[in-house]
A and B are shown apart, each in its own frame.
Chain A
Amino acid sequence: ALLRWIPPGNRNLPESAAEAPDEAPGGATTVLPEMPGIDTADGIARMTGNVGAYLRLLSKFADNQENTVAEIRKAVERGDTETATRLAHTLKGVAGNISAASLQQVGHALEAVLKEGKTEKLEDLMTSAAQELERVIATIRTVRQQPSPAASGTSSFADVLPGLHKLRDLLTQYDSEAEDLLSDILGQVSDPAVLASLKVVQGQLTRDDFDGAVVTLDSLMGKLA
C-alpha cells in the first residue's frame, strides 16, 4: 500500500529523526512490521503520514482501552446497559480511528445487541470483542517503541523556565500542542525531581486533564522559583 506522505517542509513534525516518516521511493510501510488486525497504512494516512504520532496513538489506545470489554461486562452484570452501550460505542469509534477494522466491526455488533437488548447474542459478542481487543493490543505491544532512554538532558531548571512558562500558556488555552512542547522539555531536563513532576503533568495531559496539569505545573514552578 502507498502512503500519502506530506511534502517535506510543510509541517513542524516530526519531533525527532527517529520518528521521521520513511520517505523512500514508493513510500512502502517498511517502518512498521505487519500488524494483524490493524491496517497500518490506512492509520498512518489518517495521521497525515506521521508514523511517530501513529505509534503514540496506538500506544495510548493500548493503555486506555485494555480493560474496556471487561468494563462492559461489569456494567452488563450490574444492569447498567447505558454505560455498557456507550463503552461499546466508544470502542467502535476509537478502533475505527486507529484502523482496527475487525475490532470496529465487533464493537459495532456489540453496541447494536446492547441497544436492542438481545441478550442471547451478548455473551458470544463480548467474548469475541475481548479476543479481538486482546489480539490488537498484543500486536501493538510487539511494535511499541522502547521508552526513551533515561533522561539524557543537561539543562538546569533555569534553562527550561521560559519553556515552562510557554507550556503554562498552552495549558491554560487547552491547546493540543502543549503535549509536544512538554515532550521537548522532558528531553532537556536533568533534575530528577523536576522530571518527576513533569511526568505527572504528562500523565494528566494523556487524560486531557489540562486544569490538573496547570495546578501541578504551578506547584512545581512555585517550589523551584
Chain B
Amino acid sequence: MMEDEQGRKGVILAVDDAPENLDVIKSILVPEYTVKRAASGSVALKIAETQPPDLILLDIMMPDMDGYEVCRKLKESKATRDIPVIFVTAMSQTEDEALGLDMGAVDYIAKPLRPPILRARVRTHIAMADGVRQLAEQNKALIDAARLREDVEHITRHDLKGPLNVIIGTPQFLLTQDGLSDKQRELIKIIEDSGYRMLEMINRSLDIFKMENGIYEFKPERIDLLAVMRGVITELASAVSAKKVHLSLLVDGRETADNQQVEALAEPLLCHSMFSNLCKNAIEASPHGDRLSISFDLGPAIVVSIDNGGEVPEAIRAHFFEKFVTAGKREGTGLGTYSAMLIARTQKGSIALDTSVPGRTCLRVTLSRSFIV
C-alpha cells in the first residue's frame, strides 16, 4: 500500500463525467490509494477545496465546466494550487496537450488506461509533490536559522554597546574620586581595560561581518604603508624583545631610511589591523632568538612579505585562511589570518601563504600602489 509515514493512504481525486472511466481508475488504484470520485468540475473543485487530495486525475471534455477550466481554478486557489493535476484523456485534435501543461498540469495519461502506467505516474507525481513540500519546509528552516543568526549579530553589535559604554565610562568617573587605594585604582583600571577590549572585539567583528557580506564600504586613501608597519612594530616591541627575535624591515631588499615612504591606496586602520595580526602571529610562531624579516617589494603593486621561522603544520596549510582555523594556540580565535585575508581582499589586494622554504613561513600581502603624479 502507498502509505505515508503516519500510515495514511494517499488520496486521489478522479474527475470524469463518465462513471465507467471512474470505475476503471478505482479498479486500478484501490486499495493502494483512497479514490474519491467527482462527476463534474464543480463537485471536483468543492472536494479539492474542502478535502484536499494528494493528486487529481482530471478528464478534459466534460459538460458545463471542462478540465482546462477546472485546472485553471485549482491553480488560482491557494488551498489547491500545489495539488498535482494529471489530465486523463482520450487524446484528439480537440485537446491541446501544451495548453494543459501551460495551465500547470504535471502530466497527461491516455485512455484507454494501462494499469502499470497509471500506477507509476501517480506514484511518481505524489513522490515529487512530497519532495517539493519537504524542500519548501527545509528552505523555511534555513531562512529561520539565518534570521536567528542576524538577530544574534544585532544583539552583539548594537544591544551590547549600550551597557558596555557604562562599563567603560563609570571607571573613568571613579578614578577622579579621592580616597581610593592603589589596589582599588588598579582593579578599576582592569575593568576599564576589559571594557575597551570588549568594545574593540565587537567593532572588529562588525567590520568582519560587513566584509563577509560584501557590504563593507572601502574608502581608499593615499597612505604611507611603511609608517603603518613601523607603528605596528613599535606596539609589538615588548613581544619582540621577550622572544629575542631579530627583526629587520627592508624595502626592495635594503634597510629602510628614516624618512622613507611607501605610498599605497588603502585604509590605514584596516592595514594596521591586518599587519598587527600577521606580525603577532609571526612573533608567536618564531623560535626564540630567530630572525624575522618584513620586506616591502615595489613593483606594479606593493608586496609585503612577513617571513618567520617555524612551520605551519601540514594539516592546516590548505585551510590556513579559513575562519576558526588555529594551529593549536590556546588563546587563538582562529580569526587573525581570516580577518587579514578579508581585509586584503576588501582593499582589492590578496594574501598568500608560502611554505616553500623548509622550517620557515612567509606570508605575502599584495596591495595597490599609489603613484604620485
A-to-B contact residues, CB < 8 Å:
11-12, 45-48, 50, 53, 56-57, 60-61, 64-65, 83, 85-86, 89-90, 92-94, 96-99, 104, 108, 111-112, 115, 173-177, 206-211
* A8→B354 CA distance, assembly (Å): 74
Q: Interface size (B, Cβ < 8 Å)?
A: 38
Is the pair A115, B92 in contact by a Cβ cutoff of 8 Å? yes
A12: B residues at CB distance < 8 A? 31
* A152→B315 CA distance, assembly (Å): 86
Given A89-B94, A93-B18, A93-B21, 4 other A-B contacts at CB below 8 A? A89-B90, A93-B111, A93-B112, A208-B37
B13: A residues at CB distance < 8 A? 174
B22: A residues at CB distance < 8 A? 176, 208
Is the pair A98, B20 in contact by a Cβ cutoff of 8 Å? yes
Is the pair A97, B92 in contact by a Cβ cutoff of 8 Å? no
Residue-wise interface mask of B (11-40) relative to A, using a CB-CB cutoff of 8 A (1 in contact, 0 not)? 001100111111110111011001111110
B138: A residues at CB distance < 8 A? none
Is the pair B36, A173 in contact by a Cβ cutoff of 8 Å? yes
B19-66, CB < 8 A from A: 19-24, 26-28, 30-31, 34-39, 43, 47, 51, 59, 61-63
**B89 on the A face (CB < 8 A):** yes
B28: A residues at CB distance < 8 A? 46-48
* A206→B18 CA distance, assembly (Å): 10
**B213 on the A face (CB < 8 A):** no
A56 to chain B, nearest CB (A): 7
B-to-A contact residues, CB < 8 Å:
13-14, 17-24, 26-28, 30-31, 34-39, 43, 47, 51, 59, 61-63, 89-90, 92-94, 111-115
Is the pair B36, A115 in contact by a Cβ cutoff of 8 Å? no
Sample 17 A-B pairs with CB under 8 A, ordered by A number: A46-B28, A50-B27, A53-B27, A57-B27, A89-B61, A96-B90, A108-B92, A115-B92, A173-B36, A174-B47, A176-B22, A176-B30, A176-B35, A176-B37, A177-B35, A207-B39, A208-B39
Is the pair B61, A90 in contact by a Cβ cutoff of 8 Å? yes
* A207→B21 CA distance, assembly (Å): 12
Closest residue of A by beta carbon distance from B63:
A86
Is the pair A47, B24 in contact by a Cβ cutoff of 8 Å? yes
Is the pair B27, A99 in contact by a Cβ cutoff of 8 Å? no
Is the pair B90, A176 in contact by a Cβ cutoff of 8 Å? no
The residue in B37, B47, B62 that gathers the most chain A C-beta atoms within 10 A of its C-beta is: B37
